[in-house]
Structure 1
């Protein structure tokens, strides 16, 4: 009986040890890490990175604090590119600009671009808007373009109500604004009366309260507020296309309004703080699942794995130096 009891205790201890070695699809090799990971930047990417941060702290490293803020892509880069060390990551809904890369080089900051997911610029209208359920790509451009002079809905298309259009969007701090202005509008002047906001929740609220409102932001914010807003189907030339995780792809039907989103890693911070690199590896390993859960189209597995391989290479370099 005594031998049997010892065997039972041994088996219990073995199960506990195996459980401790297991876990989710984790980050690097770090065990029992602690400290902080500081992330700022894009409001569009915020839900995705917040989900990854929450899952990481619960499932991987409970003693690591991952702080995610959302000052906007451009404002975030100012906090990221700081002499002596700014934030560890900057989320961005656009590529880093040449002048930002030049600033990074001047400061001696090695920046690694990590492509995280795909997003679709979504054109939203008030629930009571029963006329602009479908618009052509050019009609969308004309609504927001100053030189098109479309002041009333009736100016956009015959049969639309003769009522003033109220336009909304994120402000210049956001990569979403920059993508919309640069890629969709072609760097032309927007309408004078457009209401630009820093906070996406404010944008949602404004469009829900104005029958004649039309606005734009990332698909994820529409997905989480679809009970309050309608998404406009866009005709790019082959019939109306509804934004969805199936159509928002680089070669998909919604491709003209599709853009990649990123997080940028300060490689110096990854070398100084093992928890930063560990989180980066975890984020890239789990970005596909988190993307679908937060309104983004996931990248191909091989593309995410390429980032994981690069980061794990950094991890091996760090361990060799130690």
Structure 2
């Protein structure tokens, strides 16, 4: 009798082990299925992005990759009205989902967002180096100091010809150019580089960066400023001025552009601003925002930007996933 009870106990114990194992396998299979389902969710709809022409190449590249490799039924439209013009499209009812910006949001823009009940999240996406470009035939101004560069653009400067900077340089009029007031690059230049001193009225300001590239490439005396990305994609047409900040001339490059590196004085962060309300309401907007942060450093270099620290990337992803 005791043997029979022992045998029965052993059979029941073995049966319990089998049931437990089946349960664990079932839970594991269920978990794997849920993960696969989350990964394979097919989204649809649209994502609207406008703003900075400087940030445009990076965001356009990310949008292309996202639509091809992640969510083929989501349409991501990226435009480039300029940072300030973009904020006007962003800070309205039913405005754009993202606004790319080559400067921080202004106090008055943040106040407009608050009035409209729009929660805005600043997402730092890359580092850009303000770059001064010259014509390929300009072999005299390859290296300049910040003070010399600034003197070309200031209203109260006595510099008009190259020889006013250096008597050994040509006695020919400098043709200064740059992006217009719609662009954050203009505002960064005016506020940070010129220290809010008036810009000379003779500076040729343009809406399109491609226009500036062409104008300088066709004029031996031309000089313009814009983001490093537009230079690095046009090195066949332009040369970049190496800047001597006091320790020898430094060329803008991916390994010198940083907030504490050799080109730090002309380095700036660039951003995209997210309408958090839209991200909460439209799954494709949140999904694209997370995709951007997960892949931003992968595509930064190939579009002319230096990467941001991974700690900042992870902080932004954590915020977005928590929405």
Give the counterpart of 2:129 among 116, 120, 123: 120
Q: Deviations over 1:121-155 (max 9, x none)?
A: 00000000000000001101111111112110000
In structure 2, distance between residues paired with 1:232 and 1:187: 23
Partner residue in 2 for 1:196: 205
- Which runs of 5 or more residues in structure 2 are unaligned? 1-31
Quote the offset at 1:21 in angstroms.
4.8
1:198–1:212 CA distance, 2 compared to 1 (3 A): same
Deviation sequence 1:99-121 (CA, Å, 0-9, x none) = 00000000000000000000000
TM-score, normalised to structure 1, is: 0.88
- Aligned equivalent of 2:57: 47
Cα distance change of structure 1 residues 30 and 105 upon mapping to structure 2, 3 Å threshold: farther
SS in 2 for 1:262: strand
Provide the rounded CA distance (Å) in 2 between the counterparts of 1:30 and 1:252.
42
- SS at 1:159 equivalent: coil
TM norm structure 2: 0.88
How far residue 158 of structure 1 moved from its aligned partner, in angstroms, is 2.1
The equivalent residue for 2:28 is none
Change (3 A) 1:104 1:30: farther
Is 1:312 the counterpart of 2:318? The answer is no
The 5-angstrom pairing of residues 103-118 of structure 1 reads: 103-118=112-127
CA offsets 1:209-237 (integer angstroms, 9 cap, x no match) = 11000000000000000110000000011
Task: Give deviations 1:18-41, integer Å, cap 9, x for gaps.
Answer: 9x959xxxxx86710000000000
Aligned to 2:224: 215
Aligned ranges 1:1-322 → 2 under 5 Å = 21=36, 31-83=41-93, 85-314=94-323
CA offset at residue 301 of structure 1?
Answer: 1.1
In 2, the alpha carbon distance for the partners of 1:214 and 1:230 equals 10
Structure 1: gaps of 5 or more residues? 1-16, 23-27, 315-322
Q: Distance in 2 between matches of 1:63 and 1:96?
A: 31
Alpha-carbon distance between aligned partners in 2 of 1:160 and 1:258, rounded to the nearest angstrom = 28
What is the distance in 2 between the residues matched to 1:59 and 1:302? 26
Q: Deviations over 1:249-289 (max 9, x none)?
A: 01010000000000000001001110000000000010001
User: Aligned pair in 2 of structure 1 residues 186, 98: CA closer, same or farther (>3 Å)?
Assistant: same
Q: Shift of residue 302 of structure 1?
A: 1.3
Q: SS of the counterpart of 1:238?
A: coil
CA gap of 1:29–1:272, structure 2 versus 1, over 3 A, is: farther
Q: Over the residues paired in the alignment, what is the CA RMSD in angstroms?
A: 1.6
Deviation at 1:305, TM superposition (A): 1.1
Structure 1: 4+ residue segments shifted above 2 A: none
* Inter-partner Cα distance in structure 1 for 2:58 and 2:74: 18
Q: Secondary structure at the match of 1:147?
A: coil
Count residues with an aligned counterpart: 291
CA contact 1:30–1:275 (8 Å) conserved in 2: no
Query: Taking structure 1 as reference, are residues 180 and 190 closer, same or farther at Cα in structure 2, changes over 3 Å only?
Result: same
